[in-house]
A and B are shown apart, each in its own frame.
Chain A
């Protein structure tokens, strides 16, 4: 097998067995970046020298006896995760030259486990968008078809995994930003239960919804990465102490008796028939393996979008206030007085989608509207959580599509933001309820674009998702068509 086709787990094993070194793996992936980056533009920053130096250091450590399940494996980090000494831009002009003084806890966890950081991946500006087109530094293209978007907001991370420009990547998911690009790019992505991965060092978008998670080649990688990045962090008040983060233990090919619910609302109007067919076929495959699959009514699905955009925008409007041109980041050239400097720096530094959400969020929090919008949204959020609680009393796992369609063409989405927001319908309620959600490829449409399957679990039930996903992955077999440039195509 080609080095670049290896999964993170298999590469780590090969490094341990001295079949390949961390330096060779890093050099291989860097040359792949050089080869295809012009075409896809997955990265905002590639830290070539830093990665090679780190690879040499890790290789020495490994030879001296250092052990780690993913030691020496090169990884890409979404550009909203702080990396000490390495620019962290959130794909925004306002943070174009920002270099953090500390690293995110999830990044530190990877580094302590011997990861080699390749660079920072492109994203929708401040994670606001579903296509990676709102990046201030240019679009990322879908490796399966460069005329299409990779999804977003973690589009750079998903595309980098698919284009073999890294072995795995970290992303963040506020309303589907890991799962949807994973689906569009034919890779595996997991949004963990809220509080499982520390948010310390993640530049906040919607603090009550944000979670960091992996984008990777298969379910075994997903479990291995989760074991490393999940941690109880005292620097994050919302971080949970869990003693069940041995996720790789759940890599079992067994769904006998597993109760899987298919929400009827997830298969109704607006869902592309090809997507529907592929997802239902995946459900059948699980039924064939002994799972109990049935349809049910999950209520309140239509309220998820307005609720999400109210809460996320409200939090974002406040979270993004710190970007003011005073302390760091972009400051306008000419200004008269403080107020004018704020106004011009922010007007010039933020892109249109970010400004739209800041305005929306400021409006729903403003005096006289707070009760009608923000408070009401919080109440609906609680009701959505209750609807899931009821569902999980009956089912171990909820199965559905990740997105209504496969990856749209570049430029199709931004002209109609409302339509773009509707594309989040199957992913956002999971964030509102704090649940874990896993996205994995389950087929191709007639245009040759990947289709994603979403598995949703109750809080802290990632293991059920991993077990179900692992079983389905075995049942599905080789994914994709033929080709060499894209992971999945060549296997």
Chain B
């Protein structure tokens, strides 16, 4: 009988923090500036420059630590990780090795076998590197230091995961917590959340861990799941052939669906870590921790419970809406403006999700404001526009956050509520469609639908279909 293998997985997750400025200088962290425009002597490693810690980074790191049930170090330090590479202007990265800010945490995930805790070994703060651009035409490399010094936290899990599903559940949980904290937008594609997978296999029942590899370049949940499956199979094949797994770093090529070795443990660099003498030790007092604790938001589980009590919307809607802090914020703000929860939920669950899917976007990408959604709902409620016009307006809102009132006004989309004008059109439709009229009068209920459609068409959509229906019946039964 074939041997049964168990996969053992631990994750190193890098999260880019949503601070306005960099970790050790006042430069902007905004995306998309011209190369080397968000830079200063500090983040370009000029001689004589010195780092000063951005306090917001510390607050975010502690907030994530508290949300993941970590012990917060009352005394921590930054260390230098020394290695030569041009994306790293000082040729050392300021990180934390010896005394990280958070330790010994855990998060709960849902698995097919029920709830499970994944241990957090540590969370540390560090700076991001710049970006190298290899110009093949000119045969040279250029460096852009705009990202150099952008704050990161690295969340190192214990090797507690046993499948790709657990890994995804853990990542989704982390993403949810961090998004709820507002500490990061956690977008894998854009690199604001990056995961390295440490994976080994062992025979079921074995006590010892197998030799692990580290997989890099995973920028979607799908890539992570595929890389885990691929690596598990690769390692099992090696063991089945009587070969050994080599401890190494591998790069996942999602296009080819395979990984290749980047460097083995033997080539591993000696980073010569030591405490950065330019930064003083950080001592956290009770007041600081209390302040961060007091700022902790309502997390998803609490929010779901509250929605169940406060709003009359289906459990499924609650799950989807609270699945994104951003979407939940829009929901609550729109309801606070007086819109009926069920109607708000319908717009989010229906048109919003449809358009997000069409555009390949996440709920975090929703750009319309709660004010505009509330206005749209109120336009429908007051029958100023009908349902199909509302969808058209919503698409504009979704794309450009237009003000629905103004848009309806400018495009002349308001429903004609003047009964005189409507009656005239209905009478014309009746006169022009004798066959349908006859059908209806002979008991074919469906014919009324055709007549409503004809009337709406003649009114260029600007009529309330309910009212048209009523008027038709009234005139036809005379």
Contact = CB atoms under 8 A, between A and B. Distances in A.
Interface of A: 81-82, 88, 90, 95, 98, 100-102, 104, 199-204, 206-208, 234-238, 314-315, 317-318, 321-324, 326-328, 338, 342, 362, 365-367, 370, 374
Interface string B61-94: 0000000000000000000101010100111100
21 contacts: A82-B48, A88-B48, A90-B47, A100-B48, A102-B46, A102-B48, A201-B49, A203-B48, A207-B277, A207-B278, A235-B52, A237-B278, A315-B274, A318-B80, A318-B82, A318-B274, A322-B90, A326-B86, A327-B44, A366-B270, A374-B274
A324 B91 contact: yes
A367 B270 contact: yes
B45 interface: yes
A110 to B, nearest CB: 16
Interface string B138-168: 0000010000000000000000000000000
A203 B272 CA distance: 21
Nearest to A236: B50
B47 A95 contact: yes
Interface of B: 41, 44-53, 80, 82, 84, 86, 89-92, 143, 270, 272-274, 277-280
Contacts of A318: 80, 82, 92, 272, 274
List of 4 A-B pairs having minimum Cβ-Cβ separation, nearest first: A321-B91, A365-B272, A208-B277, A207-B277
Contact of A327 (B45, B51, B280): B45
A207 B278 CA distance: 6
Given A88-B48, A102-B46, A365-B82, 4 more contacts: A200-B48, A237-B278, A315-B274, A365-B272
B50 A237 contact: yes
Contacts of A365: 82, 272-274
B48 A204 contact: yes
Given A235-B52, A366-B272, A100 B84 contact: no
Contact of B84 (A95, A203, A237, A324): A324
A327 B279 CA distance: 24
Contacts of A367: 270, 272
Given A101-B46, A235-B50, A338-B86, A314 B274 contact: yes
A88 B50 CA distance: 17
B86 A204 contact: no
B131 to A, nearest CB: 14
Nearest to B269: A367
Contacts of A323: 47
Nearest to A343: B84
A236 B49 CA distance: 9
Contacts of B270: 366-367
Contacts of A237: 50-53, 278-280
Contacts of B82: 317-318, 321, 365
Given A238-B278, A315-B277, A318-B92, A100 B47 contact: yes
B140 to A, nearest CB: 11
Nearest to A315: B277
Given A207-B277, A324-B91, A327-B89, A82 B84 contact: no
Contacts of A342: 84
B272 A317 contact: yes
A237 B278 CA distance: 7
Nearest to A88: B47
B42 to A, nearest CB: 8
A293 B91 CA distance: 50
B408 to A, nearest CB: 53
Nearest to B51: A237
A202 B46 CA distance: 11
A235 to B, nearest CB: 6
A82 B51 contact: no
A303 to B, nearest CB: 20
A321 B82 CA distance: 8
A362 B84 contact: no
A370 B45 contact: no
B84 to A, nearest CB: 6
A326 B91 CA distance: 11
Contacts of A208: 277
A98 B47 contact: yes
Given A104-B48, A238-B278, A321 B41 contact: no
A200 B47 contact: no
Contacts of A102: 41, 46, 48
A135 B167 CA distance: 57
A318 B53 CA distance: 19
A100 B44 CA distance: 12
B23 to A, nearest CB: 13
Contacts of B47: 82, 88, 90, 95, 98, 100, 203-204, 322-323
Most buried by B among A322, A323, A338: A322
Contacts of A317: 82, 272
Contacts of B80: 318
B359 to A, nearest CB: 40
Contacts of B52: 234-237
Interface centre among B44, B86, B90, B277 (most CB of A within 10 A): B277
Nearest to A208: B277
B75 to A, nearest CB: 15
